[in-house]
Structure 1
Amino acid sequence: MRKNLYTIFLVFCSQMVFAQTTIIRNSEIAKMISEISSDSLEHHVRVLASFNSRHTLSIDEEEGMPAAQQYVLSKFNHFAKQSGGRMTAEIEKFVIPGDDRRIPTDSPAANVMATLKGINPADDRIFIISAHMDSRNKDVMDEKGPSPGANDNGSGTAAVIELARIMASHQFSATILFVAFTGEEQGLKGATYLADKAKNEGWNIGAVLNNDIIGNSSSSETLIKDNLMMRVFSETIPAAETEQEATIRKYINADNDSKSRQLARYIKEHGERYVDQFEVKLIYRADRFLRGGDQTPFAKNGMTAIRISEMNENFLHQHENVRMEDGVQYGDLPDFMDYEYLRKVTAVNLASLASLADSPDQPLEVKIDVRNLSNQTTLLWKAPKFGKAKGYFVLMRETSSSMWERKFWTTDTSLTLPYSKDNYFFAVQSVAESGAEGIPVLPTPLFKLN
């Protein structure tokens, strides 16, 4: 009996060892995350909610959108003093053309932006962290009624402000653009303006992390209360996919491997690496059912973009006029938010953004060798255009798995693995000297040598 118990104990221990996972955290990123303050986030939300209306068409200089924009700009300018001249801030004004829908006539608008310049002159990538700061009531055209917009989307705007505060004093290879959009509720106007500008001017957009409704942890109707999960939405079939890209996607069965989906997996891995007792849920939709957000115009322009959102929405406090009705308080008020939850979501953003901005560029010409039938898989690639790669991870997962399951390290630009390409998906990512990992790249078939 004692021998049998000992055998069971050994089996149990071996299973425990097999299940162990090594978590390596970059100390600088971990320190930045520790500096995120729920009190600071709450302060920004309450200030933003104190303006009578942040409706896009509100022109009240004291209690409307212009006043709120000046508040965000003042925060960015204050943080810029800690950047050694690398951060600049501005209110970029533009005109929204009348559309006979939610914009009656041509109307003035503006995005508030802070640019943290990267330290590598050869690295022209720009990583955008964004949220919309405009709010609305039940009537989307009500520009004068009180619309505090604490969670939608004071929460996302507060996260962008807090990230700018912490990251301003740190150095990154690539440039980070912190943006508070306007016009989201009127048809994604501010994001469309910036996405079109980025495309027309040829910006090298590394990724767009859009935050929208991220500060509530309890749902209406279902009465779920859970501050342990958040959602990342990513498109399945790229909105800007070309005919040639569609042909390759179908040929290699890569329907679950858009660039935005790779970014979503990246955020899940890095968020859960740095934020304890928190799960990042991958939602295989570009946004919530039949709804959209400011990541959409960037995706339509062929850029890698995702939406970050809370797990459980409360519709008593979203797109509702502030009122008490049958003993129930309606309206998007600051008191209904969970600021510790908002801190966690902000931390996931920071972990991902800091890693991305300090990573090398993606490996080039990533190929999977299909010139001969083989039960082995050979991948080949070229070094990144800029940023020194200490080495590369070749990632592997079963075709039924949502996340990459294994990482194989190499300092070469090719690797042969004893796993059949019939049964697995593969990708390659660059790794910096600091350990910062880039977004994985899915290989395309190599039929012959060039």
Structure 2
Amino acid sequence: MNLIRTAVLLLLIYAMPVAVSSADDPRLHEIAASASAERLRQDITTLAGFGTRHTLSDTNSDTRGIGAARRWLKAEFERISADCGGCLEVIEVSDIVSGTARIPDSAEVVNIVAIQRGTRNPNRFVVMSGDIDSRVSDIMNSTDDAPGANDNASGLAGTLEAARILSQYEFPGSIIYTGLSGEEQGLNGGAILATYARDQNWHVQAVINNDMIGNIRGINGVIDNTTARVFSEGTRYVETEDEARLRRFQGGEVDSASRNLARYIDQMADLYIPNLDVMMIYRLDRFGRGGHHRPFNEAGFPAVRIMETNENYNWQHQDIRVENGIAYGDVLEHVDFDYAAKLTALNAVTLASMAWAPAPPRNVSISGQVSPHTTLSWDKVEGAAAYRVHWRLTTEPQWTHARTVGDVSEFTLQNVVIDNYFFGVSSISEDGIQSPVVFPGPAGAF
């Protein structure tokens, strides 16, 4: 009878899915409820009102062109900082780009960056970005009206709104809010900021790029305000040949840091954003297309793209016109501000949760081949009160099983065979906030 009871207990511990995400935190519910559709409406209207924000447009006018738009953005970040007692450091990160297909002559590409320094780990960063620039049908047309209301005033306004909300809190880790330039001309601003981050030795644990978060009416006829997509790379762009060889035998094709960041965002939606389901897309970006998270991936940083689920191609990258009864152009009337607020809230709770959580564990390793047991080990991180080991079947999209194992640097899962599952480790703060899960080895390192 004792053997039967023991077997049943083991089944309950190891076979039943358990809650594997952060503790339900009232502060995060408060943050989620704070995203304002009306403030987003005001900011998107202002950004669309600059006429065009093309990277090669006017930089001197106070009312039209990308120069006016980025000066307005900087002033907004400075206003937010003034409201929180100077909690944001607002800087420009720029470089000269020339000799490319879309910037044949010399142009200064300027990013506006607002840094909210952490109280304990100021060099540990999570980043939210939106693009400043816009375009029409001809990628080189820098003069015609390109309001870019959804692409990408929505993502940029969401970044501003997240800064307004989160600047009212303090976090152990740092948060960056940034408007990136030059996206349509070749992802220039992201590449510039990624290089700057490496030169500054920033420990960037997440870049969440928001590109089109305001449309709910797809060209496929679907109207949907209850889902969002998160795109993430499966294997690290910077993987070496030796690391690829190791991954071939140990796994990790779907467990890069970016992919586990996407899983984390999915859990934040389940916990804190009512009526929003995240669709994790196992692809770097839309088929054959690109976004401003990619330069960060190429620099070795975990980075994903959040966006609407159903795009309308008539309303992006188009001259404003009516043809055959079809209206083209990225104008204000196509933006759903309540939906943009919902996706902004998703960003805000993710940033806050990661900034409150300890850093993801470092140097996670695994052993247990030719054994009934699996052992995970890791380096402890500052601010962690405990750690949690996770596992899932290799075909499962999310982590389904977990055990909190205390303030230790190694744990053995008895009678859980290494061959049958994928494994990972997360760190947990004193108040139960969890980091993303780290897959063992270089394939999953943050």
TM-score, normalized by the shorter chain, greater than 0.5? yes
In 2, are the aligned partners of 1:383 and 1:413 still within 8 Å (CA)?
yes
SS in 1 for 2:141: coil
In 1, are the aligned partners of 2:93 and 2:113 still within 8 Å (CA)?
yes
In 1, are the aligned partners of 2:228 and 2:306 still within 8 Å (CA)?
yes
Letter paired with 1:139: D
* 1:236-275 Cα deviation digits (max 9, x unpaired): 1211111222122111022111111111111111122100
**2:152 is aligned with 1:156:** no
Shift of 1:157: 0.2
**2:378 is aligned with 1:374:** no
Distance (whole Å) between structure 1 residues aligned to residue 222 and residue 39 of structure 2: 26
Letter paired with 2:402: K
Letter paired with 1:102: R
Distance (whole Å) between structure 1 residues aligned to residue 113 and residue 441 of structure 2: 37
Distance (whole Å) between structure 1 residues aligned to residue 226 and residue 278 of structure 2: 9
* 1:178-221 Cα deviation digits (max 9, x unpaired): 1101100000111111111212332211111111011101111x
Query: How many percent of aligned residue pairs carry the same amino acid?
Result: 36
Shift of 1:19: 9.4
Pick one of 225, 235, 238 that aligns with 1:237: 235
Distance (whole Å) between structure 2 residues aligned to residue 413 and residue 19 of structure 1: 24
Matches within 5 A, 1:22-421: 24-59=23-58, 60-61=60-61, 62-99=63-100, 101-120=101-120, 122-220=121-219, 222-370=220-368, 373-384=370-381, 386=382, 388-411=383-406, 412-417=408-413, 418-421=415-418
Structure 1: runs of 5 or more not aligned: 1-17, 446-450
Shift of 1:438: 1.1
Structure 2: runs of 5 or more not aligned: 1-15
* 1:298-356 Cα deviation digits (max 9, x unpaired): 11111111111110000110001111222221100111111111111111111111111
Distance (whole Å) between structure 2 residues aligned to residue 364 and residue 93 of structure 1: 32
SS in 1 for 2:24: coil
* 1:159-186 Cα deviation digits (max 9, x unpaired): 0000011111211111111110110000
Aligned counterpart, 1:430: 427
Residues 258/20 of structure 1: CA separation in 2 closer, same or farther (3 Å cut): closer
Letter paired with 1:378: T
Distance (whole Å) between structure 1 residues aligned to residue 36 and residue 157 of structure 2: 11
Higher relative contact order (CA 8 A, sep 6+): 2
SS in 1 for 2:264: helix
Distance (whole Å) between structure 1 residues aligned to residue 102 and residue 392 of structure 2: 45
In 2, are the aligned partners of 1:271 and 1:349 still within 8 Å (CA)?
no
* 1:40-65 Cα deviation digits (max 9, x unpaired): 11111111011111000011512111
Distance (whole Å) between structure 1 residues aligned to residue 34 and residue 387 of structure 2: 31
Distance (whole Å) between structure 2 residues aligned to residue 434 and residue 187 of structure 1: 42
Distance (whole Å) between structure 1 residues aligned to residue 310 and residue 102 of structure 2: 28
Shift of 1:98: 2.7
Letter paired with 1:416: T
Aligned counterpart, 1:3: none
In 2, are the aligned partners of 1:272 and 1:348 still within 8 Å (CA)?
no
Letter paired with 1:78: R
In 2, are the aligned partners of 1:83 and 1:170 still within 8 Å (CA)?
no
In 1, are the aligned partners of 2:93 and 2:196 still within 8 Å (CA)?
no
Residues 312/140 of structure 1: CA separation in 2 closer, same or farther (3 Å cut): same
Aligned counterpart, 1:14: none
Shift of 1:104: 2.0
Shift of 1:146: 0.3
SS in 2 for 1:400: coil
Residues 93/374 of structure 1: CA separation in 2 closer, same or farther (3 Å cut): closer
Distance (whole Å) between structure 2 residues aligned to residue 284 and residue 218 of structure 1: 23
Distance (whole Å) between structure 1 residues aligned to residue 295 and residue 180 of structure 2: 12
Aligned residues: 422
Distance (whole Å) between structure 2 residues aligned to residue 343 and residue 150 of structure 1: 14
SS in 2 for 1:102: coil
